Structure 1
C-alpha cells in the first residue's frame, strides 16, 4: 500500500509540475495552441474532480452533471449580455445558480437509487438543455456569444492567456485541495460510509439524505465554477455544453483516471482529452479508435490509471 501511494504521489507531482510549467514552454516555443488546449483540459478536469466527489466517494452516479457546466456558463453569458461585466457578480451568480439547481435535483433524485437515480439526473439535465435551447433572447440553439470576458479589475486580466490559464489552474488545484479536505473530514467519512452501507449508517443515527444532499450541492457548485471559466475561455456558451453526452465524457474521465482517487480525475481528463485531440488529427473516425482503447483500459485497468499504476508497482 505504501509503494502504491508513492507511485500515485509521483504521478500527481509530475502532472502538477507539467501543468505549472506549461506556459513557460508555450512562451519559449511560441506554441499558443498547446496553452489553449490545456486551458480547456484544466477546466474540464475541474468538472471531473467535482463529479468524482459524488461518484467516486459518494456512490451517486449522476448522469446530468454537465448541466452545471451550462448553468455556470449561461450565468456569465446572460449577465454579460445584459451589461453586467463584473466577474465578481458573474461568478457569484454562476455558483449560486448551480447550487440552487443541484439542491432541487438532489432533493428529488436522492429519494431513489441505482438506475432510477441515473435516469432522474439525466432527465433534469435534458430539461435544462431544452430550456436553454428555447432562450431565443440569448441565442437559443445557436448559442450566445460573449463579447467581453469577466472583469476582475486590477486583480487579474482574463484577456491575457497566461493569466487566465493560471486562474483556471489555481481553481483546479484549489478544488482538489477542497475535495481532499472534505473526504478526510468527519462529513466526508460519513458520505463514504453511506456509499458502503447506507442502512447501517442510518441505523447508528446519521441522516443519510442530508449528508448526501450536501455533498451533491457542493459538487454541483464546483462544476458551476468550471462552467463559468469555460464560458470565458471560449467566449461562447451554447446548450450543447449541457447535453447528456458531455456528462458521459465527464464520467469517462473519472472512471479512466480512477474513481475515488484524489488526483485520478485530473489524470483521466488529461489522458482522455489528449487522446481525443491526437486521434481527431489523424482521422475523422477517431471515435472508432477511442472507444476500444477506453474499453481496454477499463477492462484491464480496474481502478483506472491510478489503480493500474499501483498494481504494476506492487508486481
Structure 2
C-alpha cells in the first residue's frame, strides 16, 4: 500500500466505531441528536416567539445564528487545523463593510453585495493567510491580530462612511429590486438556511480527503509533507474558506443590525468567537454552533442582571475549561458513553 493510501485510510474507523455507524436511522439519531435538536430549535423558534416579545426574541436568535456561522468558520482552522487566529473578526467586518459601502453608493442588490463580500473576504484571507501561515504558534496569533487591527484602523479612517461612529443602512439588501428581506421572518429563514448550508458544507469538507489532510497536518505536518502533501497549501485553502464564510456572516450581520461600525472587527470580537468555539467544543462544527447560541443568550440574560456581567461569565468559562474537557460536546459524548 502506498503512503498516500495510508494517509487516506489513516482515519478509517475502528471496528467498534464502524459498528456504531451501522444501524440506519436509529444509529444516525444517536450520533446526531444534538445537531438535530439545535437545528430544530432554530427552525421552530419563530413559532414559539409569537407567544412573547416576538420581535426581540427573533432578533436575538438571528444574532445567535449569524455568530454560529462565524464560529463554525473559525472551527475549521482552529479545531481541525490548530490555527489559533486572533483576527478572525476582520472577515466579519469586511463582509459588513462590503454591504455598507455599496449601500452608501446606492448599490443595494443582494447578489452584487454577496459577490463583493465573497471576493473581498477571500482576497483578504488569501493575502494575509499567505503571510501568516509562514509563522507558527504565538507568532501566528500575533500576526493575525496585527492584520485585523490594520483592518480595524483602516475602517476608522473612512470618514466618508462614518469613521469611528459607523453608519446606518437605510434598507436591507434588495432582491430583484424588492425589499423582501425587510420582513423579519423572511430574513430569519434566510439566515437559518445559510447557517444549515454552511454546516453541511463544512461537514463535507471535513469528511473529504482535504479534511483528512488538514487534520493530519495538525497532528504531524512533517510526516504529511514527507508523504507528498504540502501542509501549507491545505492550511491556506482552509484559511481562505474560513475567511470567506466569516465574511458571509458579516453580510448577514450588517443586514440584521442595519448598522456597520469598526467594532465588528475589533480584537475583542475575535476573542468572543474563540470562546464560542471552545465553549461548544473544538473540532465538532455543531459545538461552535451551540457555543455561539449559549454565549449570545447568556450575554443577554446576564446583561439584564448587571452591567458587569463579564465578572459572572468569566468564572463560568474557567469552570468549563477546567472540568469540561472538549467543551459542551465533550460532556455530551462522555454522558452518552455512560
Give the shorter-chain TM-score range.
over 0.9
Give the Cα–Cα distance (whole angstroms) in 1 for the partners of residues 77 and 178 of structure 2. 33
Instruction: Find the structure with the greater CA-based Rg.
Output: 2
Question: 1:11: which partner in 2?
Answer: 34
Matching of residue 265 in structure 1 with residue 288 in structure 2: yes
Q: Deviations over 1:196-239 (max 9, x none)?
A: 10000000111111111011000000000000000000001100
Question: 1:88: which partner in 2?
Answer: 111
Give the Cα–Cα distance (whole angstroms) in 1 for the partners of residues 35 and 179 of structure 2. 27
Change (3 A) 1:312 1:214: same
* 1:67-82 correspondence to structure 2 within 5 Å: 67-82=90-105
Secondary structure of residue in 1 paired with 2:79? helix
Q: 1:6, CA displacement in angstroms?
A: 5.8
* 1:23-34 correspondence to structure 2 within 5 Å: 23-29=46-52, 31-34=54-57
Give the Cα–Cα distance (whole angstroms) in 2 for the partners of residues 252 and 6 of structure 1. 28
The counterpart of 1:236, out of the listed 259, 277, 289, is 259
Give the Cα–Cα distance (whole angstroms) in 1 for the partners of residues 52 and 161 of structure 2. 39
Q: Deviations over 1:68-110 (max 9, x none)?
A: 0100000000000001111100111011100000001100000
TM-score, normalization: structure 2? 0.90
Moved more, 19-28 or 184-193: 19-28
Q: After TM superposition, which residue ranges in structure 1, 4 or more long, deviate above 6 angstroms?
A: none
Q: 1:312, CA displacement in angstroms?
A: 2.0
TM-score, normalization: structure 1? 0.97
Q: Deviations over 1:236-272 (max 9, x none)?
A: 1100110000000000000000000121101101111
Give the Cα–Cα distance (whole angstroms) in 1 for the partners of residues 50 and 298 of structure 2. 24
The counterpart of 1:56, out of the listed 45, 60, 79, is 79
Q: What CA RMSD, in Å, does the superposition of the two structures yield over aligned residues?
A: 1.6
Secondary structure of residue in 1 paired with 2:244? helix
Q: 1:283, CA displacement in angstroms?
A: 1.0
Matching of residue 131 in structure 1 with residue 131 in structure 2: no
The counterpart of 2:298, out of the listed 252, 257, 275, is 275
Give the Cα–Cα distance (whole angstroms) in 2 for the partners of residues 162 and 93 of structure 1. 25
* 1:40-55 correspondence to structure 2 within 5 Å: 40-55=63-78
Question: 2:224: which partner in 1?
Answer: 201
Secondary structure of residue in 2 paired with 1:22? helix
Q: 1:149, CA displacement in angstroms?
A: 1.0
The counterpart of 2:238, out of the listed 212, 215, 223, is 215
Question: 1:117: which partner in 2?
Answer: 140
Give the Cα–Cα distance (whole angstroms) in 1 for the partners of residues 54 and 232 of structure 2. 49
Contact 1:149 1:232 in 2 (8 A): yes
Q: 1:313, CA displacement in angstroms?
A: 2.4
Secondary structure of residue in 2 paired with 1:302? coil
Q: 1:273, CA displacement in angstroms?
A: 1.1
